[in-house]
Structure 1
Amino acid sequence: MDGAAHNDDQLRGGELVKESAAYEGQPGDIARARDLAHAFLERLQSVHGLPVSERAMDMVQLVVSELLTNACKYAHGPCLLDLQLREGRVEVTVWDSEPMLPVPKAPDPGRVGQHGLEIVMAVSQSFEVHREPVGKRTMAAIMLADDPGGNASGRHP
Structure 2
Amino acid sequence: MGLLATTHGTEQGRPGSGPAVVADSAAFDMDSEQICRARDFVRQFLSDARSRGGLDVPARASDIAQLVVSELATNVCKYAPGPCLLDLEVDGGMLGITMWDSGAVLPAAVGADPARAGQHGLEIVLAVCQSFEVRREPVGKRVRVRISLLEGQNAEPAGPTPW
Please report the TM-score for the alignment, with normalisation by the length of structure 1: 0.89
Within the alignment, does 1:47 sit opposite 2:67 as a pair? no
What do you get for the CA RMSD once the two structures are aligned?
Answer: 2.0
Structure 1 residue 112, shift from structure 2 partner: 0.5
Distance 2:61 2:130 in 1: 11
C-alpha contact (below 8 Å) 2:104/2:139 kept by paired residues: yes
Counterpart code for 1:136: K
Q: Tell me which moved more, 138-147 or 122-131.
A: 138-147
Unpaired runs of at least 5, structure 1:
none
Within the alignment, does 1:74 sit opposite 2:79 as a pair? yes
Counterpart of 1:146 in structure 2 is 151
Counterpart code for 1:23: F
C-alpha contact (below 8 Å) 1:8/1:19 kept by paired residues: yes
Counterpart of 1:6 in structure 2 is 6
Seen in structure 2, the aligned counterparts of structure 1 residues 152 and 41 have a Cα distance that, compared at 3 Å, is farther
Seen in structure 2, the aligned counterparts of structure 1 residues 116 and 18 have a Cα distance that, compared at 3 Å, is same
Equivalent residue in structure 1 for 2:132, among 127, 131, 142: 127
Structure 1 residue 154, shift from structure 2 partner: 9.4
C-alpha contact (below 8 Å) 2:26/2:87 kept by paired residues: yes
Within the alignment, does 1:115 sit opposite 2:120 as a pair? yes
Distance 1:102 1:112 in 2: 18
C-alpha contact (below 8 Å) 1:11/1:48 kept by paired residues: no
Q: May I ask how many residue pairs the two structures share in their alignment? A: 153
Structure 1 residue 26, shift from structure 2 partner: 3.1
C-alpha contact (below 8 Å) 2:9/2:22 kept by paired residues: yes
Q: How does 1:87-126 map to 2 (within 5 A)?
A: 87-126=92-131
Structure 1 residue 88, shift from structure 2 partner: 1.6
Q: Find runs of 4+ consecutive structure 1 residues off by over 3 angstroms.
A: 151-155
Seen in structure 2, the aligned counterparts of structure 1 residues 79 and 47 have a Cα distance that, compared at 3 Å, is same
Structure 1 residue 127, shift from structure 2 partner: 0.4
Identity of aligned pairs, percent? 48
Counterpart of 1:61 in structure 2 is 66
C-alpha contact (below 8 Å) 2:23/2:88 kept by paired residues: yes
Distance 2:41 2:49 in 1: 12
Seen in structure 2, the aligned counterparts of structure 1 residues 128 and 148 have a Cα distance that, compared at 3 Å, is closer
C-alpha contact (below 8 Å) 2:43/2:66 kept by paired residues: yes
Please report the TM-score for the alignment, with normalisation by the length of structure 2: 0.86
